[in-house]
Amino acid sequence: MTPKEKRISRLLSLVLRHDPASIGLTLDSQGWAKVDDLLDCLAKHKKETSLESLQTIVAENNKSRFAFSEDETKIRASQGHSINIDLQLTPQSPPEFLYHGTCTRFMEAIEKEGLMKMSRQHVHLSADISTAHTVGKRHGNPIILEVAASLMESHHFKFYLSENQVWLTDHVPPDYLTRRFSSHT
């Protein structure tokens, strides 16, 4: 990706996940924006880009944050929304354990309340420790929490798998969490 495409990708994260109105864009109930509308709104805000650049951003984003509709006339964020949309996810059976990366400054609240979705629609979990570690590092000294996902499912918690392979759930109570390791161990 070019530096300009990286800047547009960051803007797309904001617009398609949190604030489409910031550029005058409207999303449908499933979070889709018409590609032509997106390109027009970007141009009106002096962030002009091309369909080819959007295709590169979708294809090369290392976290697969965005997806096109089958006919490439619409685009949306794969998950991570703070706005209310219906990604039309169906419950999936998770692996026995999933992982969440966080940092020391959040641990007191997590030990009391568990993992909360906060301003997002879901708690984000990964199927592997390395991804959780990378996520945790973004916030400070990483701590990896192991989630007893299979046990949670047996207790009627629902799990979903987003298009970009991020596991989602509404809440992880503290009883289902085990601290795996931090950067200090």
Quick: pLDDT tens for 6-62: 999 999 999 999 999 999 999 998 899 999 999 999 999 999 999 999 999 999 877
- Looking at 1.10.540.10, 2.40.128.720, 3.40.50.300, 1.10.10.970, the CATH number of the domain 3-77 comes to 1.10.10.970
**CATH number at 98-182:** 3.20.170.30
Burial 36-55 (b: 16+ CB within 10 A, else e): ebbbebbeeeebebeeebbe
Quick: pLDDT tens for 138-170: 878 899 999 999 999 999 999 999 888 899 999
173: left (phi over 0), alpha (psi -120 to 50) or beta: beta
Average pLDDT for the chain: 90
pLDDT of residue 182: 52
Among the listed residues 185, 175, 183, the one whose alpha carbon sits nearest the alpha carbon of residue 103: 183
Chain length of the chain: 185
Which part of the chain has CATH 1.10.10.970?
3-77
Residue 92 has pLDDT above 90, yes or no: yes
Q: Which amino acid is at 51?
A: L
pLDDT of residue 183: 47
